[in-house]
Chains A and B, each alone.
Chain A
Amino acid sequence: MEKVLMKGNEAVGAAAIRGGCRYFFGYPITPQNELPEYMSRELPKVGGVFLQAESEIAAINMVYGAAGSGARVMTSSSSPGIALKQEGISYIAGAELPCVIVNMMRGGPGLGGIQPGQSDYFQATRGGGNGDYRHIVYAPASVQETVDIMTEAFDVADQYRIPVLVLGDGMIGQMMEPVEFRDPPTRELPEKDWITDGTAGRRAPNIINSLYLAPQDLEDHNRRLDAKHRLITERETRWESFRCDDAEIVFVSYGTASRIVRNAVEMLREQGVRAGLIRPITLWPWPQAAFDALGPSVRALMAVEMSMGQMIDDVKISAAGRWPVGFYGRSGGMVPDQHAIAEAAVAMLETATQEVR
């Protein structure tokens, strides 16, 4: 198929429709407004429904209802709006329903700003809602990768009956890059025999619920969810290792920040510093295996984020004391600069060398 030049937000919409999405419920917020705008124009053309809800909370609960009736459904927002949806996400995860949520992150906390940020890592991977739940988090780094993930996300959600969060930021949403729409790998999807679409008097009612009052019932439910989370970790973890083979310092960075880090890696290599990059594509499940595969040449890790340091916690867990873990970050909508990243890496390597001596 021919490549087209598309803005990230619109490409997300096109990919969602291609992935089978027919229902969109949302509430406007910068910097993702082109996405609902696109859906409001395009969904009716394929027999779908776009509805601007009265609030983010209403929108996520409409998603809950539509998912329960078997629809392919999504919502989107940006950081403070996603914060409002957390209760609904916990309920959807508890009721084991499939849906897709897009967060084009901006700086925070609170209303923050409208420029790109990555300060919702904790919210995305730890859950802003209550209870023992997880959901898949994809963190694409280009418009093409966003499209590929978005097209597949509805299948993944259906396969595991779990919410899927696609975590971009203002830059991914606003920038234009060439994209090609292609079909995702085929998955075997279970029949949706659990949906509440009316019994027609022919079967017992299906019930969608997240309430388990008997402790033993709830613990059994928690154990089932945990087994599902382990299965997803085993099968769906994704990452990219870039020039890690002989690296002395390995950056860890995702999404927009990882693109700048990639430039820093090239710059450092030209200066004779052997740098590499682990780029998690799924933030949950987290790519522990990428760290275990690192060779003896590695002397230090450095997390680079558009936040004051959130993903670094997972990097430290994965390092498990094997390597010192440094950090470079910008926040508030400021975007890191490859020169500063490279300088921080060189400084860290010098410190690491002195400590060995």
Chain B
Amino acid sequence: MSEHKIICAGFGGQGVMSMGRLVAYTGMLNGREVSWLPSYGPEMRGGTANCHVIVSDHPVGSPIIHRDATAVIAMNLPSMRKFEAELVPGGLLVINRSLIDATPDRDDVTVVPVRANEIATEVGNARAANMVMLGAYLGITRLFPLSAVGEALGKVFGPKKAQFLPVNEEALARGAALAGQPVG
């Protein structure tokens, strides 16, 4: 049974909610069972806005990820500190090296450092750091081909914001390239 349980976390404004929603949306468009659960409490203002995303071949039971995350995508230090404990042994910890200058406590997980802010600036939009992180995650897990995420992005943005599509797709591709996935 294939079940991906992903926690996306970061400061408010880093696009962690939309990153998670894009994963859920892509999953749904590709016939998988999905759930997306956001934090909505006061912690949103304190540095760890987060969402729990589940993509599964079976109907999703609990939408809450508790000590069984297969991946944590941490955009800043408080998020890494808070959520690394939720990973299963052997899980994937994608961290934003641009903002996290510290070592995780966990030594039983795969750590993937990504200079997301710098790469996003290189592709021309500093706000696309979330897409670089997501690209890295997808490059390693191959949960979906990048083309499927691109299609979902097109639907999420709609025609009005179509001009943002290329830069986001490039950010995804640059992230994925870090893991050696061909751009496709």
Contact = CB atoms under 8 A, between A and B. Distances in A.
Given A31-B40, A171-B37, A178 B63 contact: no
A30 B41 CA distance: 10
Interface in B21-43: 21, 24-25, 28, 33-38, 40-41
Interface string B63-98: 110110000000000000000000000000000000
A352 interface: no
Contact of B66 (A31, A115, A266, A337): A337
Contacts of B60: 177
A37 to B, nearest CB: 14
Interface residues of B, number: 19
Contacts of A170: 40
A263 interface: yes
Which interface residue of B33, B34, B61 has the most chain A CB atoms within 10 A? B61
Chain A interface size band reads 20 to 34
B41 A114 contact: yes
Given A3-B28, A335-B64, A30 B36 contact: no
Given A30-B40, A176-B35, A5 B25 contact: yes
Contact of B34 (A5, A266, A333): A5
Contact of B41 (A115, A175, A178, A337): A115
A5 B27 CA distance: 10
A75 B25 CA distance: 30
B31 to A, nearest CB: 10
B61 A263 contact: yes
The binding surface of chain A is classed by DSSP as mixed
B61 A175 contact: no
Interface string A102-130: 00000000000011000000000000000
A115 B41 CA distance: 7
Nearest to B156: A5
Interface in A154-185: 170-171, 174-178
B61 A260 contact: yes
Contacts of B38: 174-175
A224 interface: no
A260 B37 CA distance: 14
A175 B36 contact: yes
Contacts of A262: 61-62
B61 A177 contact: no
A266 B61 contact: yes
A213 to B, nearest CB: 48
A151 interface: no
B66 A339 contact: yes
A332 B37 CA distance: 18
A178 B152 CA distance: 14
Contacts of B41: 114-115, 333
Given A177-B34, A337-B66, A338-B62, 16 more contacts: A3-B28, A5-B28, A31-B40, A115-B41, A170-B40, A171-B37, A175-B36, A175-B37, A176-B37, A177-B35, A178-B33, A259-B61, A263-B62, A266-B61, A333-B41, A337-B67
